[in-house]
Chains A and B, each alone.
Chain A
Amino acid sequence: MQEFIRNFASSQSILPAPVIYILFMTVSALVLASLAAILALIGVYLERKISAHMQNRLGPMYVGGWHGWAQTIADAVKLLLKEDIVPKAADKLLHLMAPFIVFAATLAAFAVLPFGRNLVVSDLNVGALYVVAISSFVVVGIILAGWASNNKWSLLGAMRSAAQIVSFEVPATLAILVPIMIVGSMNLGEIVNYQVGGIHKWLIWKFFPFNLMAFLIYFVASLAEVNRAPFDIPEAESEIVAGFHTEYSGMKWAIFFLAEYANMFLVGVIGATLFLGGWSSPFGSFLNSGPLPVLWIFLKAFGLIFVHIWLRWTLPRVRVDQLMYTCWKVLLPFAFVSLVGVGIYMVL
């Protein structure tokens, strides 16, 4: 895509080249933002329907006619019209800024995701590491949200969430390092190209069992990174009111939830890209042409999101000390074992 834009900018003489570049950046940012918003809406609807059927009830059925597909749109309209309540002693500027920092962090990571054969907004050579770095930016937004609300539950929830996300980044990064080591490059497009050709070439089966271990470690750590159950202490409704977004209502709360579901999708796409073959079809070259790669990556990402939702409504919430135990005493040693194991396998 970069060469296309460069050729386009130099071949026509109506607008100068810098304007074309800025226009391209703006348009791609808008496309990614709307993609993230639509995916978050679909994610919320899926969660309500899937959790409903798992709990032997029906979920939204009325809005829009067929199985309530427009329920999330109606909810979004309601949230737009809701009154925006800011606590009197809260810091207004930070209270406004925090949800947007969280959403901007999640959106910035969308720019390196490969959605198809050449469909990347920004084909970075350090793509995988960039995604890890941007996920650590979300924590700052959460801490500012907790602080700006001037509420001890918010601050406590924000600190717990920050400690949780920062701790779980360590095994997640080590697990991401395993496919990077095998492919030899941090470029997400190259990692997908390595896995093109059928389900037997996916990185999750290579060097069994170490890559499978790395995938499971990444999946569990990513559950903690997006504050999903069973690691949702920061948002626990029955324990800490609502954690760091207690004092948020209306559109700002909607931005927080948009960011959470977009983050879930982001983590699903990264897991699919690094371990499950990305946009390549599992049947080799059978269904791999035209616009079908986009379908494959969305299918894989939504499959992982389904497992996220399934785990949320099946497992109970863990305590904070059990959470830290899981991270530092279970996931981290296994991550080191898989890293060393893959290294030895590659040398021998």
Chain B
Amino acid sequence: MSITLTHYLTLSAILFSLGLLCVVTKKNAVTVLMGVELILNAANINFVAFARFVDTNLDGQIFAVFVIVTAAASAAVALAIVLNLYERLRSIDLDEADSLAR
């Protein structure tokens, strides 16, 4: 097999920068959350690739399980906050959510 560790690391670097681009550029709050999920997936690929190629006692996979679970919890709470924001501001444009006083 000619697929080595660097292939997986390259893939995860590309995914990470695409996720970061999404978080930095988008105005829609839900799309920003999607970018965060992309970043977490890129980190997970890194963990699992190292668990396979460097350290074979599956610690990386356990860590990836915990990352998945934490991402689920954070997505739930973040979406609850976004819905609350929509109730108050009637829009989820992040540029409009710029003061604490409303």
Taking the complex as a whole, does A directly touch B, i.e. does some CB pair lie under 8 Å apart? no
Give chain A's interface residues, CB within 8 Å of chain B.
none
